[in-house]
């Protein structure tokens, strides 16, 4: 794939997020067992592993939707037992979802504008009148959202309700909504699942552009190993909730444990 | 033909983001308001007092419920009781402080209802979906019980009902027996227009988007940084404020007196039907829904008479039930988004007329 | 201080002071609870099989009872009327499947929920239109149900058990047992549980959704009929029973929407709780608290267990 040629622009910065000894279980099911890894500012970090390895749960822990039973999370230098969803969002963690989680009844534009919620500060009182400060604010954010729409090439569907859009476009709108938050850390949960080759290439390009142009740190889960190897700077491999490998794509590729996990060697 | 937007270019975001971006829509809205203003000059007293005033008030209550159910996705079966809170609050306030302008008390009773609504909205953080719908029944039955069992609320009136005192506004009687239907109509119209305008502002901005985000996908909304409890409580507050105002208007500008039974569970259901048939998450739909559901019994009553038949009042009521129920099922099947969606489709057709698309 | 006393001490003193009254109250609560549980049961059946929150279940009960009594009033012998009512319930199940479920199958749950509101109103309108809106007496003796009461001189007083209540408790237990066997042991029961888990998967292994839905709604209709007869015998038959039928909703959410044991336990808790509350605590606030106490009990439980007592714990996934 041609995107492989793009050199990661800002790899190997300071540590943005550090996950230490995190364990998470639901009743008797242990989804994550004592996993530690870090994400450095500006890199593209992939989390891979077979189905049920705990990848999505890991993202849920990072942005505070699940609360781990043990472990610590250090984000932007502050160490916490757990994140809270609102806190994570306020501190610049944005997210897309495995099964598209758009606001189906709203238009593309409204979905992306909703991503700006935390940056809109005009009070309820001003919202009641709309004309005046609230509308000015609205217009200012509309401009920003239009830039994202432009960047993702979704101008035509600006005013379409997203429920009616095809899957590939929905994924793109969802990325747009996450970008509207101007995140420092962008979590992408299988951004290319169910896409054809062309759509995957588009999405890969967007991810690399976001990383290069906005300097956004990205953590992504993806099953297409080819794409992962090409895109990411470093890879964490999870299997049955355990971390089995961590390193640069080449190192991970040749790791025996990773090969075993993917080929299904009996544990 | 006439409904074309060709040539109407929007050159600013402000123009693009206005509530009625198409010129013809703005003209249409102006015409409707003018028509509403001149209506009392041409229509009879029955039309004003028994059709238009109730229609406006029920539409307002439906808007209130729509904020909660249509925009925020929280089904409420207690709307009738919240109208009751508004009505009783207004009654208490206006009889305790008779000197103060009645409009002030109508608005103030909205705030009372708002506070009660927030209180009963608190469980909504933990309880979702159908569970919450049942929880709102707690509000319905508890509040209704209060209206019967707390004599202080109806000033120890032996009949157990509340009767509207006569109040004036700028020297004109607006409530009570001496107020003319036309005056009451204009007061109701003014309030309804004002509240609708404010609500429209609200739902087209940040607040409305966070309501809808919670409705469509609450988890994603939360991870974007929308605080669920705060947003849901805000929806409860706005919604019960509006229903409270509508409740106060119902007694003060329409019925003139009310018993606790006026705010029973059937009233809650009727309002829910208005919202469903009109269109969940649509302000104009609330007006359509109110018109259809309120006018329906009148039509059912009038239709056989025009053919020279007489049917009993009880039969009319039963028929109304039957038709209302059938209409709800019909609309849910044909167009789950209600009359508002049909209206939109109609406009779309008109835009491209005489071509199919 | 006396207020605290009258809430936390006095009612219990009364209970111990007059055990016969306590037993009587408990019994009334128990029977009420069994009947709530039956309405809730019909509801759980439908919810499990089709995912529809059937708001009309309570009205189906009244409608069934009204049809039975109404037919008898028009001169149909009691047991023929019973058979005809069963036929009517079957026709209703068919109609619901054709007119409501089939066209709405892929709509969100909330739309189906709303549709059952429509069904509620249709049933009220239809029932009253055909049989009249005035309250009617249940044809208890014609259906060979016992009447009168069994009185026990015990506990220093008199405890009086209505025979119809005893019959209701027995019939309810039998119905629950039969239904449980039906769902565990028969082919249809298995298909039904499959549909409950996943519509599409069930379809793909050749289970007919339409058929299952008709069966489930018919079963729920039969449960409604039985409940209607029992309630009707205790009060009279009219759509005023709707308010009582609505109480099945807190029972339901208390037990958890999908659990049959939950519906039963929930019914008993609500039934007994509201009778005790009304009898011992009601007078403190002027009585009549039965109208809302059930909802508050359910609400209080939900705050601690949002999925109800027996519901499956909700793990939100994304």
Nearest CA in chain B to C133: B314
d(CA C234, CA B288): 43
Q: Report the residue from B204, B209, B219 with minimal CB separation from A101.
A: B219
CA dihedral A112, A118, A124, A128 (to 10 degrees): -20
Percent of chain B past pLDDT 90, that is, above it, reads 52
Q: pLDDT tens-digit profile of B116-126?
A: 999 999 988 88
Contact with chain C for residue B129, Cβ under 8 A:
yes
Please name the member of C120, C288, C296 whose beta carbon is closest to the beta carbon of B325: C120
Instruction: Report the C-alpha gap between B276 and B204 in whole angstroms.
Output: 20
Residue B89 counted as domain residue: yes
Q: Which residues of B touch A (CB under 8 A)?
A: 12-14, 17, 198, 201-202, 204-207, 209-210, 212-213, 215-217, 219-227, 234, 281
Q: How far apart are alpha carbons A22 and A72 in whole angstroms?
A: 6
* Residue B347 within a domain: yes
Task: Retrieve residue A39's tokens.
Answer: 């994400």
* Average pLDDT over every residue of A223-247: 91
Report the alpha-carbon distance of residue B139 to residue B58 in Å, rounded: 20
pLDDT at res. A8: 45
B18 in any annotated domain: no
Residues of chain B with Cβ-Cβ distance to C257 below 8 Å are: 130
The tokens describing B203, both together, are 């739902």
pLDDT of residue A9: 44
Omega of the bond leading into B354 within 30 degrees of 0 (cis): yes
CB pairs B-C closer than 8 Å: 140
Instruction: Render pLDDT for A114-148 as a digit per residue (tens, 0 to 9).
Output: 999 999 988 898 888 888 889 999 999 999 999 99
B220/A102 touch (CB, cutoff 8 Å), yes or no: yes
pLDDT score recorded for residue C318: 60
Q: Do B14 and A88 touch (CB under 8 A)?
A: no
**What domains does chain C contain, in order, with CATH numbers?**
2-304 (1.10.3470)
Rounded Cα–Cα distance for residues C38 and C230 (Å): 10
End-to-end CA distance of chain C: 52
The model's pLDDT over A56-73, given as tens digits with 9 standing for 90+, comes to 999 999 989 999 999 999
Kindly report the average pLDDT of chain A as a whole number.
Answer: 89
Domain housing B324:
51-352
Under the banding of pLDDT at 50, 70 and 90, the label for residue A3 is: very low
3-state helix/strand/coil string of A218-243: EEEECCCHHHHHHHCCEEEEEECCEE
The CA-CA-CA angle for residues A107, A108, A110, to 5°, reads 65
**Chain A residue at shortest CA distance from C315:** A26
C-alpha to C-alpha distance for B36 and B48, rounded to whole angstroms: 10
What's the CA gap between B319 and B298, in Å, rounded? 11
Facing residue for B219 by CB, picked from C117, C125, C318: C318
- Binary contact (B216, A129; C-beta < 8 A): no
Contact C318 A101 (CB under 8 A): yes
Q: Is the dihedral of CA B151, B152, B157, B162 positive or negative?
A: negative
- In-domain check, residue B28: no
Torsional class of B85: left (φ above 0), alpha (ψ -120 to 50), beta (otherwise)? alpha
For residue B278 the two structure tokens come to 């009109």
Phi, psi angle pair for A259, to nearest 5°? -60, -45
β-sheet bridge partners, residue B257: B163
Report yes or no on B281 lying in a domain: yes
CB spacing of A101 vs C313 below 8 angstroms? no
Chains with at least 3 CB pairs less than 8 angstroms from chain B: A, C
Q: What is the pLDDT of residue C314?
A: 63
Q: Please tell me the distance from the alpha carbon of residue A63 to that of residue A12, in angstroms, as a whole number.
A: 22
User: For position B129, which CATH number holds?
Assistant: 1.10.3470
Any domain includes B70:
yes
**pLDDT at A5 (0 to 100):** 39
Q: Which residues in B lie closer than 8 A to residue A122 (C-beta atoms)?
A: 206
Give CA–CA dist B177/B157, Å, rounded: 18
Q: Total structural domains in chain B? A: 1
Q: What is the pLDDT of residues C47-68, one digit of tens each?
A: 887 778 888 888 999 999 999 9
User: Does the CB of C187 have a partner CB in chain A at under 8 Å?
Assistant: no
Crossing angle for the helix pair B265-278 and B129-149, to the nearest 10 degrees: 140
The order of strands in the sheet holding A78-80 is A29-40, A15-26, A70-75, A78-80
Number of other residues whose CB lies within 10 A of the CB of residue A226: 11
Strand-strand pairing, A217-221 and A44-48: parallel
* Interchain pair C318, A27: CB under 8 A: no
Contact C313 A27 (CB under 8 A): yes
Distance from CA of B280 to the nearest CA of C (A): 10
B38 lies in some domain: no
Q: Of C302, C161, C303, C139, which is closest to residue C236 (Cα–Cα)?
A: C139
The answer to whether C247 touches C36, Cβ cutoff 8 Å, is: yes
**Which phi-psi region, left, alpha or beta, contains residue C312 (left: φ > 0; alpha: ψ -120 to 50)?**
beta
The ranges of chain B with pLDDT < 70 are 1-2, 357
**What is the model's pLDDT at position A6?**
41
Residue B33 covered by a domain: no
C118:B75 CB<8 A: no
User: Quick one: A240 exposed, middle or buried, by C-beta within 10 A (0-12, 13-18, 19+)?
Assistant: middle
Contacting subunits of A (3+ beta carbon pairs below 8 A)? B, C
Q: How big is chain A by its Cα radius of gyration, in Å?
A: 19
Q: Which residues numbered 289-318 in B keep a CB inside 8 Å of some CB on C?
A: 314-315, 317-318
Judged by CB atoms closer than 8 Å, whether chains meet at A89 and B221 is answered as no
Give the residue from B15, B71, B216, B224 with the most A CB atoms within 10 Å of its CB, the best one to mutate. B224
Cα distances (angstroms) measured from residue A245 to each of A38, A148, A259, C266: 13, 35, 11, 50
3-state secondary structure of B76: coil
In this complex, which of A95, A103, A118 lies closest to B213 when CB atoms are compared? A103
Res C15 pLDDT > 60: yes
CB contact under 8 A, A65 and B223: yes
- Widest distance between CA atoms in chain B: 67
Supply the angle between the helices C260-276 and C19-50 in degrees, to the nearest 10.
150
**What was the ipTM of the complex prediction?**
0.88
pLDDT tens-digit series, residues C194-212? 877 777 788 888 888 888 8
Confidence of residue A1 (pLDDT cuts 50, 70, 90): very low
């Amino acid at each position: 794939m041609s995107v492989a040629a793009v050199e990661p622009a800002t790899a190997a910065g300071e540590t943005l997020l550090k996950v230490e000894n995190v364990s998470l279980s639901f009743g008797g099911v242990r989804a994550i067992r004592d996993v530690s890894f870090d994400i450095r500012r500006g890199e593209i970090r992939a989390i891979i592993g077979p189905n049920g390895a705990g990848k999505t749960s890991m993202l849920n822990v990072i942005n505070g939707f699940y609360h781990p039973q043990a472990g610590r999370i250090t984000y932007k230098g502050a160490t916490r037992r757990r994140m809270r969803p609102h806190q994570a969002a306020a501190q610049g963690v944005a997210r897309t979802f495995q099964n598209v989680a758009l606001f189906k009844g709203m238009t593309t534009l409204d979905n992306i504008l909703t991503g700006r919620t935390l940056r809109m500060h005009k009070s309820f009182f001003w919202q009641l009148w709309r004309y005046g400060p609230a509308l000015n604010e609205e217009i200012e954010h509309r401009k920003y959202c239009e830039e994202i729409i432009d960047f993702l090439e979704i101008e035509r569907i600006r005013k379409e309700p997203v429920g009616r859009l095809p899957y590939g476009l929905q994924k793109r709108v969802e990325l747009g909504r996450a970008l509207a938050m101007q995140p420092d850390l962008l979590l992408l949960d299988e951004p290319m699942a169910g896409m054809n080759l062309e759509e995957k290439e588009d999405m890969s390009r967007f991810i690399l552009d976001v990383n290069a142009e906005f300097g956004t740190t990205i953590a992504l889960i993806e099953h297409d190993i080819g794409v992962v190897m090409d895109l990411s700077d470093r890879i964490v491999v999870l299997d049955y909730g355990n971390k089995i490998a961590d390193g640069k794509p080449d190192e991970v590729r040749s790791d025996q444990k990773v090969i075993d996990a993917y080929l299904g060697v009996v544990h | 033909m006439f409904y074309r937007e060709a040539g109407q270019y929007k050159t600013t975001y402000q123009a693009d983001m206005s509530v009625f971006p198409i010129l013809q829509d703005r003209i249409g809205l102006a015409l409707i308001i003018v028509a509403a203003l001149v209506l009392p000059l041409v229509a009879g007293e029955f039309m004003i007092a028994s059709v238009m005033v109730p229609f406006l008030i029920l539409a307002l209550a439906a808007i209130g419920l729509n904020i909660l159910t249509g925009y925020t996705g929280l089904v409420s079966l207690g709307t009738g009781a919240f109208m009751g809170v508004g009505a009783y609050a207004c009654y208490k306030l206006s009889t305790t402080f008779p000197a103060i302008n009645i409009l002030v008390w109508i608005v103030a009773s909205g705030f009372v209802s708002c506070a009660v609504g927030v209180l009963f909205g608190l469980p909504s953080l933990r309880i979702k979906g159908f569970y919450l719908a049942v929880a709102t029944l707690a509000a319905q039955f508890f509040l209704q019980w209060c209206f019967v069992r707390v004599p202080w609320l109806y000033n120890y009136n032996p009949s157990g009902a509340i009767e509207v005192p006569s109040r004036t506004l700028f020297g004109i009687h607006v409530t009570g027996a001496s107020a003319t239907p036309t005056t009451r109509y204009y007061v109701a119209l003014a309030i309804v227009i004002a509240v609708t305008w404010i609500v429209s502002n609200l739902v087209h901005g940040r607040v409305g988007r966070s309501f809808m985000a919670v409705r469509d996908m609450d988890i994603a909304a939360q991870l974007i940084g929308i605080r669920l409890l705060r947003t849901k409580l805000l929806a409860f507050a706005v919604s019960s404020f509006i229903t409270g105002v509508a409740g106060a208007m119902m007694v003060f500008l329409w019925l003139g007196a009310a018993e606790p039974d006026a705010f029973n569970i059937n009233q809650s259901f009727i309002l829910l039907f208005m919202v469903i048939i009109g269109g969940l998450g649509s302000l104009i739909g609330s007006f359509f829904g109110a018109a259809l559901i309120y006018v329906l019994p009148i039509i059912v009553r009038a239709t056989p008479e025009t053919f020279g038949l007489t049917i009993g009042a009880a039969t009319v009521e039963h028929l109304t039930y039957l038709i209302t129920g059938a209409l709800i099922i019909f609309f849910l099947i044909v167009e789950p988004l209600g009359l508002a969606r049909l209206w939109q489709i109609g406009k779309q057709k008109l835009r491209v007329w005489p071509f199919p698309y | 201080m006396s207020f605290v006393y009258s809430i936390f001490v006095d009612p219990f003193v009364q209970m111990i002071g007059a055990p016969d009254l306590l037993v009587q109250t408990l019994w009334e609560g128990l029977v009420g609870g069994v009947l709530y549980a039956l309405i809730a049961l019909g509801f759980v059946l439908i919810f499990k099989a089709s995912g529809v929150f059937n708001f009309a279940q309570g009205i189906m009960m009244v409608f069934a009872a009204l049809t039975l009594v109404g037919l008898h009033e028009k001169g149909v012998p009691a047991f023929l009327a019973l058979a005809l009512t069963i036929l009517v319930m079957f026709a209703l199940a068919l109609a619901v499947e054709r007119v409501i479920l089939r066209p709405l199958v892929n709509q969100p749950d909330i739309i189906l929920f709303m549709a059952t509101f429509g069904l509620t109103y249709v049933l009220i309108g239809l029932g009253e239109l055909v049989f009249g809106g005035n309250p009617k007496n249940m044809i208890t003796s014609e259906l060979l149900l016992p009447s009168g009461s069994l009185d026990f001189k015990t506990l220093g007083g008199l405890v009086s058990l209505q025979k119809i209540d005893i019959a209701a408790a027995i019939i309810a237990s039998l119905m629950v047992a039969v239904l449980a066997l039906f769902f565990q042991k028969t082919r249809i029961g298995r298909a039904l549980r499959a549909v409950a888990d996943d519509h599409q998967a069930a379809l793909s292994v050749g289970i007919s959704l339409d058929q299952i839905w008709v069966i489930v709604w018919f079963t729920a209709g039969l449960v409604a009929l039985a409940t209607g007869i029992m309630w009707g015998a205790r009060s009279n038959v009219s759509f005023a029973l709707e308010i009582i039928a609505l109480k099945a909703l807190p029972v339901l959410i208390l037990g958890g929407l999908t659990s049959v044991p939950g519906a039963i336990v929930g019914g008993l808790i609500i039934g007994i709780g509201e009778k005790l509350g009304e009898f011992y605590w009601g007078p403190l606030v002027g009585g009549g608290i039965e109208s809302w106490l059930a909802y508050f009990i359910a609400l209080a439980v939900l705050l601690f267990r949002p999925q109800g007592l027996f519901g499956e714990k909700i793990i939100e996934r994304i």
